[in-house]
Structure 1
């Protein structure tokens, strides 16, 4: 995992500051490299949260919300501290909040003062009590149907401006593409590993019972169904048992 902490906040642009768009482009280019160099999907999310704290004006903390299991379960990842973790837990408890709206409605959700918020009657008072008076939630959208959002928090009302929305939107777009790519790579590696495990298990069965590869594979599938376990897990156990027997 790369270290993004060397990036400094861009802050609000002073009037007539024509260099800021160039600096922002440079920072986002560096961020894109860091995200694509991350070792795993969760590393991408941690990189994105750290970058948001550095780059998005007003941000004090961040996290990522991911809907899994066909959108039936909420996972909170890469929380930068206790505030986002506690606020995200309240959102899960009540099933409402800016993060969920951003994910499900695929739009940016901004909260200027949680104490006066009426969109989430159960969530808002609890979040305000925890100290999250300002929030920004960005959908991390890619065409593969993933459901996630980058969530930013501040302890002061009115912490986020239109400029913060602009920077956060660009950052979230970079993070979404990198996260999707990391997931695909992880799934591909897992598929290759699964194929190799099944191949080894089939070879063991062929040798043990003097049967063809087709019959060996069918036998492995039958074991999997009878045990109600994944084929990969059955193959891995068969290989472990064979290795353990060879060491005796």
Structure 2
């Protein structure tokens, strides 16, 4: 009998994390999901049959809960999707509140590494895959996006070094592009973002990445074929 593949997804209550969780559940994956929004996460849990752990990945106590939920079994996939945008409206760097910048870096850089450190033995046991969700703000100089972009640039570098240190695994930075999400709306308060694609339309590109397992690296959804 083929074993169920297991995945841990952070930030799984809404947006891209929710869309990925629903897609993997349809493929029969066993899911461990986490997010701060308990009510929204419970709806995803009900739709996917996942094990849901409510909490903030920036909280070490919550990461201990995730480690306990993982148990001793192998983990085929870790998706570090949870992110913090920072202040809204987005401030220029010369007026960026330093305490809020520290919080963005904690959530977008420190916490994903801490989650990976907890999960890495289980990922190794499965010859698994790690996906850190990046952004075009990591490589583009967009006014107002300095805090968030710096955090994603740091996450990209962290991902690249992790891949160099773990050549037996597949470790990706995945840039989904602009999407119609609550976070993206918060970046553009009061503006119409209905021209952005829904997160569900980006999932096939990620599924292609997971299915083909190319060399570790940074991949853009817009440059990947969709899964057949």
TM range (shorter): under 0.3
Q: TM-score, normalised by structure 1?
A: 0.26
Larger Rg: 1
